[in-house]
Amino acid sequence: MRISAGDFCILAGELAAEHGLLARDYAQRASASFEAEGESERARFWFTLSILLDDIAMRRLDPSREPTIH
């Protein structure tokens, strides 16, 4: 599955707006669960999403703006 950084940020922003920190907690649990099942690609997806959700919660990332990836 391919998803752009911008689309990832939009998804994270929508989840954060709807569910707050619960979205981050769910993403972290999903990542751990998929990793335990050997589903590494799905685990990476949820792990990346959890990082973006955490950055949004800590106001290090504005989901309304295109992210800058270094």
| Alpha-carbon distances of 70 from 5, 58, 67, rounded to whole Å | 12, 19, 10
Q: Rounded to whole angstroms, how far apart are CA atoms 70 and 13?
A: 20
User: What does the domain layout of the chain look like in residue ranges?
Assistant: 24-65
Round the average pLDDT of the chain to a whole number and report it.
Answer: 93
Q: Rounded to whole angstroms, how far apart are CA atoms 34 and 36?
A: 5
What is the reported pLDDT for 1? Answer: 66
Tell me which amino acid residue 67 is: P
Regions of the chain with pLDDT less than 70: 1
Give the 3-state secondary structure of residue 31. Answer: helix
Structure-token match 């703006």, residue found: 65
pLDDT digit string (tens) for 29-49?
999 999 999 999 999 999 999
